[in-house]
Amino acid sequence: MGTQRTALITGGASGIGLTTAARLRDEGFDVVIADLDPNAPEVAAELGVTAQALDVTSVEAWERLGAALDAAEVELGALVLNAGIAGGGTDLAGLDLERYHRLMRVNVDGVIYGLRTMLPRLARPGVVTVTASLAGLMGVPADPVYAMTKHAVIGLVRSSAAELAAQGVRIHAICPGFVETPLLGAAKAQLDAAAFPLLTTDEIAAAIADLITGRSTAQVTVLQPGRKPVDYAFAGIPGPRMLDGAKAPDLPTELNLG
């Protein structure tokens, strides 16, 4: 470690995070996977990367991780905020509030805490990718609270991109459809029975690596089985005017790295 080529990946011990760790390792990055999974150290050793314990919902855990990276003189070049959960249920009138708060803490607070802790440690130029979901771009009757959390992080990415670009940081959201990971839970059997195509974690990891090694920023990249990644085209709603009548600045699309 100790180079600008260090990537930190939350939820890196399994699924998309694990495959992304392997992909970035192969791209020449030193990789740190941060995860609550007790198997993370063993997984990291097999992969030839480093593991750190992290509960993304805890500010104190993030601060401990930051201190550990400082002690190891890690110069962070890429931050992959990937940890996430689903399963908020459909009955809003009878919503399980404990489950609701857990979803919010992992999917939203975990991203905010990660940015708050790691942006001061991120090298310039640097890059952040946030694992959102196709659920963040559409209605999902089967899990409306999960969809809400993913809409939230997409809004955060798009809203923060201009300010971060001015600081030399690129930020993206990746929005896959159904991916063959443990996150699918019981839905996996239903999807298999319907012969529903699933994305592989390799496809997601490749898209994340492309965003990290590219020059663009503020991209919201959609992935669907059998299709190339595509940048989502938001509706051309006229932007607000500033108090002096000037047009508000557009979102940046590319960061000039000099």
Q: Which of 153, 104, 109, 112 is nearest to 130 (CA)?
A: 153
Instruction: Report the phi/psi class of residue 237: left, alpha or beta, with left for phi > 0 and alpha for psi in -120 to 50.
Output: beta
**Per-residue pLDDT for the chain (258 aa), expressed as one digit of tens each?**
444 599 999 999 999 999 999 999 999 999 999 999 999 999 999 999 999 999 999 999 999 999 999 999 999 999 999 999 999 999 999 999 999 999 999 999 999 999 999 999 999 999 999 999 999 999 999 999 999 999 999 999 999 999 999 999 999 999 999 887 766 666 666 666 665 678 999 999 999 999 999 999 999 999 999 899 999 999 877 767 766 777 666 667 665 543
Q: Which residues have a catalytic role annotated?
A: 146
- The residues pairing with 221 across neighbouring beta strands, listed in sequence order, are 174, 231
Question: Residue ranges per domain, the chain?
Answer: 6-231
- The residues pairing with 130 across neighbouring beta strands, listed in sequence order, are 81, 173
**Measured between alpha carbons, how far is 175 from 31 in angstroms, rounded to an integer?**
22
Give one DSSP letter per residue of the chain, joined into a string: --STTEEEEETTTSHHHHHHHHHHHHTT-EEEEEES-TTHHHHHHHHT-EEEE--TT-HHHHHHHHHHHHHTT--EEEEEE--------S-STT--HHHHHHHHIIIIIHHHHHHHHHGGGEEEEEEEEEE--GGGSS--TT-HHHHHHHHHHHHHHHHHHHHHHHTTEEEEEEEESSBSSGGGTTHHHHHHHTT---B-HHHHHHHHHHHHHSSB-S-EEEE-TTS--EE-----PPPPBPTTSPBPPPPP-B----
Sign of CA dihedral 102, 104, 106, 112: negative
**Measured between alpha carbons, how far is 44 from 153 in angstroms, rounded to an integer?**
27
The domain 6-231: what is its CATH number?
3.40.50.720
- Output the pTM of the full model: 0.90
